[in-house]
Amino acid sequence: MKRIAVYCGSATPEDPRYVALAREVGATLAQRGIGVVYGGGRLGLMGALASGALEAGGEVIGVIPEALAGEDAAGNQKERGGEVANRDCTQLHVVPGMHERKLAFTTLSDGFLTIPGGVGTMDELWEAVSWAQLGYHAKPVGLLNAFGFFDHLLAFNAHMAATGFVRPAHQGIIIAERELDLLLTRMAAHEPHTPIFAMKTSDL
């Protein structure tokens, strides 16, 4: 994996472990020679992730929508926004909106890594899972369950599988671990499953 899209929150929780974790993830990826693709912000876990990678000499590619960048894709300044864009990135791509942003994450990266975050982070995670299930990509989808943050989400995912809403072939799409090194090792060894697009009607 040359680049990994990292999904995380732009908020700064009171518990300092979360910001420290984001910085550690960025630094670790950089030390392994893996570029970071992320949401392009400088606040919260996003900013810590980027700083950790940049300080360790890594590549950081930010992808941010126009509404948050304070400019359009052509570089024309807009009246509002711009306070959250991270201009220190190796590359900063300004895209029209959220759909283009998530498509860029998929195009630019060789895998996806989700660390703690909020609604936007969950949206990005589930889209990566859904696209893998359908067959829009065959890249590993990792979930760093640090501090047990995703315990309930993983339990709900298991519940969806147990009730028949996730097919057996797709129940292993989310690769979840509590330790980053083990998670990256498993992601690197990822073998694509059979996507829905390749299944026979009788298997659906």
Per-residue pLDDT reduced to its tens digit, 114-128:
999 999 999 999 999
Lowest-confidence pick of 21-30, 73-82, 157-166? 73-82
Confidence of residue 84 (pLDDT cuts 50, 70, 90): confident
Q: What is the pLDDT of residue 59?
A: 98
Give the DSSP H/E element, type plus range, for residue 188: helix 180-188
Model confidence band, residue 198 (pLDDT cutoffs 50, 70, 90) = confident
H/E stretch holding 141: strand 141-144
For residue 3, the cross-strand partners are 35
Q: Check residue 72 and give its pLDDT.
A: 60
Q: Residue 74's pLDDT is what? A: 62
**Which pLDDT value is given to residue 199?**
80
Please name every residue paired with 112 in a beta bridge, in sequence order, or none if there are none: 5, 141
Q: Is the model's pLDDT at 79 over the cut of 90?
A: no
Q: In the CATH hierarchy, which fold is given to the domain comprising 3-189?
A: Rossmann fold (3.40.50)
* pLDDT for position 157: 97
Strands (E), 96-203: 112-114, 141-144, 174-177
Q: What is the pLDDT of residue 23?
A: 98
The one-letter amino acid at 43 = L
- What is the pLDDT at residue 67? 87
- The pLDDT tens digits of the residues spanning 29-73 come to 999 999 999 999 999 999 999 999 999 999 999 999 998 887 666
Q: What is the pTM of this model?
A: 0.92
The β-bridge relationship of strands 141-144 and 174-177 is: parallel
Query: Looking at residue 80, what is its pLDDT?
Result: 53
What are the residue ranges spanned by the domains of the chain?
A: 3-189
Using pLDDT thresholds of 50, 70 and 90, give the confidence band for residue 92. very high
Contact 74, 97 (CB under 8 A): no
Percent of the chain with pLDDT over 70: 93
Beta bridge pairs of residue 143: 114, 176
Predicted confidence at residue 41, as pLDDT, reads 94
Mean pLDDT of all residues in the chain? 93
Mean pLDDT of 8-23: 97
- Rounded Cα distance, 193 and 157, in Å: 17
Listed residue (189, 204, 181) closest to 32, CA to CA: 181
The two structure tokens encoding residue 17: 């472990």
Amino acid at 150: F
Q: Is pLDDT at 175 greater than 60 in this prediction?
A: yes
